[in-house]
Amino acid sequence: MAHLGIDLIDGGPYDSVLTAREARAHPQALERFEVATAPARSLGSRCRDRSLLSGCSFLGGRPNTVAPATEALRGRRAPPAPGEVPGLARDSSSGSSSGIRSRTSPPSARFLVGESYFRDKDYEKAVPEFESFVTLYPSNQIADLGQYRLARSYFDQMPTVERDQKITAQALQEFQKLIRLYPESRYAPDAIVKIESCRLRLAQKELWIAAFYVRQGKYESALPRFDTVIKEYGRTKAAPEALYQKADTLLRLGRSDEAAAIMKRLVDEFPASEWSRRAREREAARGA
């Protein structure tokens, strides 16, 4: 899978190109691209001609260029220049007989504008650009990157546990979509890690609500929250705590037999957990 730059996951230099023709057709993309890539371009040689905007390589050197469209139209497809992104030069989802799209067509412009917003941490503006890109061009060679950037735009806004977690749920959904549509993507491993982070945050939200009910003395209302964590987020680090706190709540309700069963399950399924240690100490204290 072709990718942009040295490492887009870590936000490395943007090592792609924007031709003069595309710049004139999409002045917004040019303006925001220049702003977003200024730090990266300062690492290498400055581009000498305003008519060609090219990301300079990480170690300096000559700017990258895009082969003229006439080469492809004549049937002599020139090999991509170092750092060139095939997905921005061709659109395999266009359905045209030649497979060649104009460099002034939307895919590259949409992605570049979304990318510049993303790098500015203006995620609310980045989201619609990436959504349009992945919706209109799902077969583009960098569609997986567009989907990853869309998911990250939500993930990087993930709020603290006491706030509404709608954005976290959206990030989870978009990362899962990336795994489903592009399982071989180079961004899939990072997406899997972030899926677990989203699931943990959603589980922690349920525990936070349950704890609120317990403090209010509304024990019956807290139990369904513990059950949600145990059933839906049973593989997260929040599961042992949910079991322990559910058992404690059952004891407060005088349902000791049910509490004992939950404590046993906690110790059996998560023997190395801190919450299992607490459960064993508690049981030992009761036996004494």
Straight-line distance from the first to the last Cα atom of the chain, in angstroms, rounded to the nearest whole number: 63
Angle at 17 between CA 95 and CA 22, to 5 degrees: 60
Architecture of domain 206-287: Alpha Horseshoe (1.25)
Instruction: Answer whether residue 12 shows pLDDT above 90.
Output: no
Give tens-digit pLDDT for 139-165: 999 999 999 999 999 999 999 999 999
Contacts of residue 225, defined as CB under 8 A and 6 or more positions apart, other chains included, come to 206, 207, 209, 210, 213
- Going by pLDDT thresholds of 50, 70 and 90, the confidence category of residue 194 is very high
Alpha-carbon distance 143 to 135, whole Å?
A: 9
Distances 189 to 11, 12, 68, 175 between C-alpha atoms, Å: 17, 18, 36, 10
pTM for this model (two decimals)? 0.65
Give tens-digit pLDDT for 197-208: 999 999 999 999
Alpha-carbon distance 244 to 267, whole Å?
A: 10
Give tens-digit pLDDT for 87-129: 444 444 444 333 334 444 567 888 999 999 999 999 999 999 9
Instruction: Answer whether residue 50 shows pLDDT above 60.
Output: no
* Per-domain residue ranges of the chain: 17-152, 206-287
Q: In percent, how much of the chain has pLDDT > 70?
A: 62
Find residue 18's DSSP bridge partners.
Answer: 53
| SS percent in the chain: helix, strand, coil, step 5 | 60, 0, 40
The pLDDT of residue 98 is 35
Alpha-carbon distance 237 to 33, whole Å?
A: 41
Q: How many CB atoms lie within 10 A of CB 190?
A: 17
